[in-house]
């Protein structure tokens, strides 16, 4: 297949690019490199340093290639920034996405795979783990934008026959995650430990998330190429608190970790875990990386980076 991956030089996107290339697909990447890095990108992929908000520049790429699938991972992912600057968030996450979908319609792309957020779109839920039929009540502009894009995609599916596979991720972690970002607490903590800096916990540390390895996410995106139009949760079904992450990391690092507590952040949910039964049954997807094993891999990856930077 000819596949376009937006945000393909980013943390998650680059792992998906690797998976697609390994299966023999031809991959073109669009990334403005605001957070993505060329060093993340597989050399077999073709990179265009283009912003999804630039319709004209995107159209040149669609004119050049006949894409079978567009995998859309380019996004503004900072929840706090979406609260501070909701218009900025919407310009990228909604308008940028619409640029892509309009070009998919115009150039008759068969399918769009969209990276949504299982944490952000559901909001506060009554029963965990949550399935795809739960009421969606986002608590942040970021979550509202993700849900809006899902609904726009449904329009393009119903009216223009653009197949869409929506993947609602848990909290994705793994190698290549930027510790300077706000979405990757595991990477941030690993980096802080190796630098001798304290780990900052917002609130009491008992908020829970469903942490899913980027390797398992990449495998879901591979299977999504052959799925009919569906919405899938991609998570482990397990709640893990920040305090539990600290305990795991103390065992892996074999040291007592210094912790600082800061005030809670607005727009954040208290608890989440995703039921992925539908992905298990219809996609044939399952998780292969346990949290302990996954965190250990991330810690070792940062250890190597830390050693290189000190040499």
Catalytic residue positions?
A: 142
The b/e string for 43-76 (b: 16+ C-beta within 10 A; e otherwise) is: eebbbbebbbeeeebbeebbeeeebebbbbbbbb
Strands (E), 194-284: 199-202, 208-209, 211-213, 230-234, 240-241, 259-262
Please report the DSSP string for 7-56 in residue order. Answer: TTTSHHHHHHHHHHHHTT-EEEEE---SS--GGGS-TTSEEE---TT-HH
Q: What is the enclosing helix (H) or strand (E) of 309?
A: helix 291-310
Q: How far apart are CA 299 and CA 293, in angstroms?
A: 10
Q: How far apart are CA 242 and CA 84, in angstroms?
A: 24
User: Cβ distance 9 to 32 under 8 Å?
Assistant: no
What 8-state DSSP symbol labels residue 135?
P
């Amino acid at each position: 297949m000819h596949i376009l991956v937006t945000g393909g030089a980013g943390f998650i996107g680059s792992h998906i690019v690797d998976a697609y290339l390994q299966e023999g697909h031809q991959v073109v990447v669009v990334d403005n490199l605001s957070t993505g890095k060329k060093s993340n990108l597989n050399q077999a992929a073709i990179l265009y340093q283009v912003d999804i908000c630039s319709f004209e520049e995107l159209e040149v790429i669609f004119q050049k290639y006949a894409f079978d699938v567009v995998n859309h991972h380019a996004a503004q992912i900072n929840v706090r920034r979406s609260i501070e600057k909701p218009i900025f968030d919407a310009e990228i996450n909604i308008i940028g996405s619409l640029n892509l979908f309009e070009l998919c319609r115009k150039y008759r792309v068969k399918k769009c795979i969209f990276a949504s957020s299982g944490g952000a779109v559901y909001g506060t839920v009554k029963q965990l783990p949550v399935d795809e039929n739960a009421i969606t009540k986002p608590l942040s502009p970021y979550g509202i934008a993700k849900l809006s894009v899902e609904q726009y995609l449904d329009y393009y599916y119903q009216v223009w026959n653009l197949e869409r596979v929506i993947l609602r991720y848990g909290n994705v972690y793994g190698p290549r995650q930027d510790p300077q970002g706000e979405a990757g607490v595991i990477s941030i903590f690993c980096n802080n430990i190796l630098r001798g800096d304290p780990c900052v916990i917002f609130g009491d540390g008992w908020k829970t998330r469903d942490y899913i390895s980027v390797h398992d996410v990449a495998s879901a995106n591979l299977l999504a190429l052959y799925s009919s139009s569906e919405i899938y949760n991609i998570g482990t079904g397990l709640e893990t608190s920040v305090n539990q992450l600290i305990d795991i990391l103390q065992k892996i690092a074999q040291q007592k970790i210094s912790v600082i507590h800061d005030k809670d952040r607005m727009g954040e949910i208290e608890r989440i875990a995703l039921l992925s039964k539908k992905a298990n049954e219809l996609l044939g997807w399952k998780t292969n990386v346990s949290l302990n094993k996954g965190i250990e891999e991330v810690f070792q990856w940062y250890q190597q980076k830390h050693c290189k930077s000190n040499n």
